[in-house]
Structure 1
Amino acid sequence: MMNVAVIGTGSISSKHIEGYMSFPNRCQIVAVCDIYVDKAEKSIEDYHVNASAVADYKQLLNNPDIDLVSICTPPSTHAEIAIDFLKAGKHVLVEKPMAASLAECDAMIAAANESGRILSVIAQNRFRTPWMKLKQVLDENVAGKILHAQVDSFWWRGHSYYDLWWRGTWESEGGGCTLNHAVHHIDALQWMMGMPSEVQAVMSNVAHDNAEVEDISIALLRFPGGSVGQITSSVVHHGQQQQLVFQCEHAKVSAPWDLYASISQENGFPERNEKLEAEIQSFYDSLPDSQYEHHVGQIDDVLTALEHGRKVFIDGHEGRKTLELIVAIYKSAVTGQRVTLPLSETDPFYTKAGLMASVPHFYEKTASVERFEKNVITTTGHE
C-alpha cells in the first residue's frame, strides 16, 4: 500500500485525488497540502479521505509514512518542491509543465538519479486510447513516412482567467498558452514523431490585456529527415477544437481519429485509396484499448512501476524534451531567428533568469485574486 501526499489543491488536484482513489487497494492519500490550509481541509472533506491537512509542504519531507507525492502547484514552484521531496527519499509525480526552465529540469533529473527515486511528469493524454493507437499506427509505418505534422492546440480562456494571482506573469506561470495549454499536444508531437532540428516561431497577446504572457503562438518545425510541421498554441479559439494531424506518404491519420488515403491517377491527380484505408482501419481496430486513461492511467503506471521495480512510462527526460521544444519556440519568437535543437547549457534561454531577461511583457497584470470561488475546469470533446 503506497501512502500518498497531494501538494496543492488547485483545480487540477482533483484529477490526482480521484486517480489515487481509483486504486483503493494499492494506495491511500494520507496528507493534503496547500498554502491556504482551509483549501486542503476542504479537499479532504469533499473526498472523504483520512488525511492530514498542512500549509507548508516542508512539514511532510521527513514523514516516514509518505512514499509518493503529487505536485499540483503553480509551475514556478515545481522544481523546488520536487527536488526537496526527491532528496527526502520520496517518489514524485509532478504536473505539467515539468519546470520553469531546462536548468530546473536537469536539477530535478539529477535529484531523482541521486536518490534512486521515481520522477514522473504528467502527460495524461498519452494514456488515451486514440492517442496510443495513433502512436502505434505511426510506429508501424502502415501509412508510410510522415511528411507533415499539424498541431492545433486550440483553447479559449476569458479575460478573468489571468486574474488568478499566479497566472499571466512570466515569473510565476512561466509562460502563456504555449507552455501551459499546448504542452499536451507538443508533448504528443515529440512522443509520436521525435524532436525537430529547427524551429521558427512568432507569438502575441491579442485578447488578454491583463497578462504579460502570450495568448497565441505559431511555430514552424523542420525534422532531421526533412519532414516539416506546424504548431498553433492558442487560448483565443472559440470551440476549443484540438487535433494532431499527420500527413504521411500513403494516408492522413489523426487524433481525433480520421483516415484518408490517396492514390495517384495516371495524370497525377488523386483518387481515394479505399483498399489501403480498409487495411489501416483494420490495424487500428485491432489495437487494444487502454485499460486506464488520462490521470488514472498515469497514476496506474507510476504505482505499477513502484510495485514491480520498473521504469515509468513518462520520466523526467521525457518531460524535459517537451519543455525544450517549448523553450525553442519562445526563443525563436523573441529573437525572430531560426533556432536549432538541441539547446546547450550555455544558451541564454537554458535558465529561467535568461528567459526572463529576454521575453516581452505584452501587458502588465492588472488584477490579482487569491482564488476563484467557483473553479471548474471545462475542456472539450473534440480533441
Structure 2
Amino acid sequence: MDKIGVAIIGSGGIAKAHVKGFLALGNLCEVRALCDSYPSKAETLAQTYDLSSSVAITKDYHELLSRDDIHLVSLCLPPSLHCQVTVAFMEAGKHVIVEKPMAPSLSECDQMIEAQKRSGKILSVISQNRFRTAPMRVKQLLDEGVLGRVLLARVNSMWWRGSAYYDLWWRGTYEKEGGGCTLNHAVHQIDMLQWLIGVPDQVVSVMNNVGHSNSEVEDVSLSILSYPNMVAEVNSCLVDHDEKQEFFLATEKASIGIPWYVKSAKQLPNGFIQPNPETEVELNALYESLPSLKTEGHEAQLENILQAVMHGTEPLVTGEEGRKAVQLISAMYKSATEHRSVSLPLAKDDPFYTTEGMRARLVRYNKKLKSVENLEESGEISLGTMGR
C-alpha cells in the first residue's frame, strides 16, 4: 500500500490528538473516515483540521467494516465500547489502536487479544506517556542496571476535574466508563510503572468519592503495591488543582524521578547521610547522553504503530501490554471493595475478572442524576504530560 488508510471512531476531546498525530505523519497515512454517533461532532472535527473534502463521515462504525481502503482504526470511544468495536474491526481484517484504558475488565481484554490472534493484525493500546524522552531514558537506565535494584517507587497521578466533567452521558457510571480516576486517569502512570518495574505480587487499596456528587465512581484512589524486596505506592485523584504527574524511584545507587532529577547520598561512619555529588554528576551525564525522541506523545506512538503495520513488526505497546495495567487496576478495585490485600494475577474464576462481576460488587458512592449528550468544547484537554 502507498499509504495506510485510517478511520477514527469517536470524535470527542481525545480524537483531536489522534487527528493531529496522523496529519503530522501524512507521509505514512491518510485519514479517510470519521465516525461518531453524533455526526455533527465528526463534521466539526473535520472542519477544524481541514479534512472535510477528504473524509467520509458516518454515525455507524459498521459502515466502515467492509471498506478495503481502511487498514487501521483508532478507537476514541467510552471504555465500555472498546471490546465490541475492537473485535468487530479485527474480524473485518483491520489493525486497531484503542485508547486507554484497554477495556473495563480482564475478560474483555482477553476477548480483544483472542480476536487479534485470530486475525493476525496489530492491536495496540494508547500509552502515550511511554513515548517521551524522560521515561525512555529512565527505562534504559533501569534495564542496564546502572542504578542498582529499585527499593521503593512512588507514583502521583494527580488531576483536577470540575463537577461538570461528570455531566457527560457516559462518564461517572461503572456501566459506561468502567471506573473512576484509577481506571481512566491513573492508567497512564500504572502502565508506566509496570513497564518500568513490573507487576506486583500484592496490592492494598483505599478509594472514595470526595468531590463529585454526580458520579458513582471514585475520585480518590490510594494503593500500596508489594514486590519481592520492593514496595511501591500509587496515588491518584481528581481534586488536585496542580495536576502533578510524577514518578519517584529510590534505587541502591540514587533516588531519581520523572520529570528527571537525581539525588545521591552515601553513609557516614554512624550510618547517617553524606551528600554524594560525584554520583549525581555521573548519573546525570549518563542520562543526558541517552537519545532524545524527535517527537513525543500520541504522534510518537502513532508513528511506532504505523511503522509496525508497514513492516509487519510488533508495536512497543501490544494488547498484552495494555492488559497488564488493567490487571493491576482490577486488583486495586477488588482490594478497595473487599477491604483486604489482593494477590496477583487474578484468576479467571475471580468475580473481578469479568465486567459483570465487577459491576455487581463495586461501591457506588453517589447516584448519577444529571446527564447531557455533549459538553461545550473549550480548548485542549489535559493529558498528563510527563516532562523531562
In 2, the alpha carbon distance for the partners of 1:9 and 1:268 equals 58
1:148 pairs, out of 152, 155, 173, with 152
Which residue number corresponds to residue 165 of structure 1?
169
In 2, the alpha carbon distance for the partners of 1:348 and 1:319 equals 20
Deviation at 1:348, TM superposition (A): 0.5
1:243 aligns with 2:246: yes
Q: Which runs of 4+ in 1 moved over 3 A?
A: 378-383
Which residue number corresponds to residue 182 of structure 2?
178
Which residue number corresponds to residue 102 of structure 1?
106
In 1, the alpha carbon distance for the partners of 2:47 and 2:241 equals 36
1:38 aligns with 2:35: no
Which residue number corresponds to residue 359 of structure 1?
362
3-state DSSP class of the match of 2:191? helix
1:258 aligns with 2:261: yes
1:294 aligns with 2:297: yes
Q: Which amino acid aligns with 1:114?
A: R
Q: Which amino acid aligns with 1:177?
A: C
Bigger mean CA offset, 168-177 vs 367-376: 367-376
In 2, the alpha carbon distance for the partners of 1:382 and 1:116 equals 33
1:291-327 superposed Cα distances (whole Å, 9 cap, x missing partner): 2210001110011111111111100000000000000
Deviation at 1:375, TM superposition (A): 4.0
3-state DSSP class of the match of 2:33? strand
Deviation at 1:179, TM superposition (A): 0.5
In 1, the alpha carbon distance for the partners of 2:306 and 2:17 equals 16
In 2, the alpha carbon distance for the partners of 1:190 and 1:296 equals 22
Alignment of 1:28-107 (within 5 A): 28-49=30-51, 50-107=54-111
Q: Which amino acid aligns with 2:283?
A: I
Which residue number corresponds to residue 216 of structure 1?
220
In 2, the alpha carbon distance for the partners of 1:363 and 1:106 equals 30
In 1, the alpha carbon distance for the partners of 2:119 and 2:222 equals 39
3-state DSSP class of the match of 1:331? helix
1:4 aligns with 2:6: yes
In 1, the alpha carbon distance for the partners of 2:257 and 2:141 equals 10
Alignment of 1:221-240 (within 5 A): 221-223=225-227, 225-240=228-243
In 2, the alpha carbon distance for the partners of 1:296 and 1:143 equals 30
1:323 aligns with 2:326: yes
In 2, the alpha carbon distance for the partners of 1:365 and 1:263 equals 54
Q: Which amino acid aligns with 2:284?
A: Q
In 1, the alpha carbon distance for the partners of 2:350 and 2:56 equals 43
Which residue number corresponds to residue 13 of structure 1?
15
Q: Which amino acid aligns with 1:101?
A: S
Unaligned runs of 5+ residues in structure 2 are none
Contact 1:261–1:274 (CA<8 Å) still a contact in 2? yes
TM-score (norm 2): 0.97
Question: In 2 relative to 1, CA 352–379 (structure 1 residues): closer, same or farther, beyond 3 Å?
Answer: closer
Contact 1:177–1:214 (CA<8 Å) still a contact in 2? yes
Question: In 2 relative to 1, CA 379–23 (structure 1 residues): closer, same or farther, beyond 3 Å?
Answer: closer
TM-score (norm 1): 0.98
Bigger mean CA offset, 366-375 vs 243-252: 366-375
1:193 aligns with 2:200: no
Q: Which amino acid aligns with 1:130?
A: A
Q: Which amino acid aligns with 2:262?
A: L
3-state DSSP class of the match of 1:239? coil
3-state DSSP class of the match of 1:357? helix
In 1, the alpha carbon distance for the partners of 2:179 and 2:323 equals 16
Which residue number corresponds to residue 313 of structure 2?
310
In 2, the alpha carbon distance for the partners of 1:152 and 1:203 equals 15
Deviation at 1:156, TM superposition (A): 0.7
Question: In 2 relative to 1, CA 184–12 (structure 1 residues): closer, same or farther, beyond 3 Å?
Answer: same
In 2, the alpha carbon distance for the partners of 1:379 and 1:168 equals 19
Q: Which amino acid aligns with 1:18?
A: K
Unaligned runs of 5+ residues in structure 1 are none
Contact 1:11–1:375 (CA<8 Å) still a contact in 2? no
Q: Which amino acid aligns with 1:338?
A: S
Contact 2:129–2:385 (CA<8 Å) still a contact in 1? no
Q: CA RMSD in A?
A: 1.0
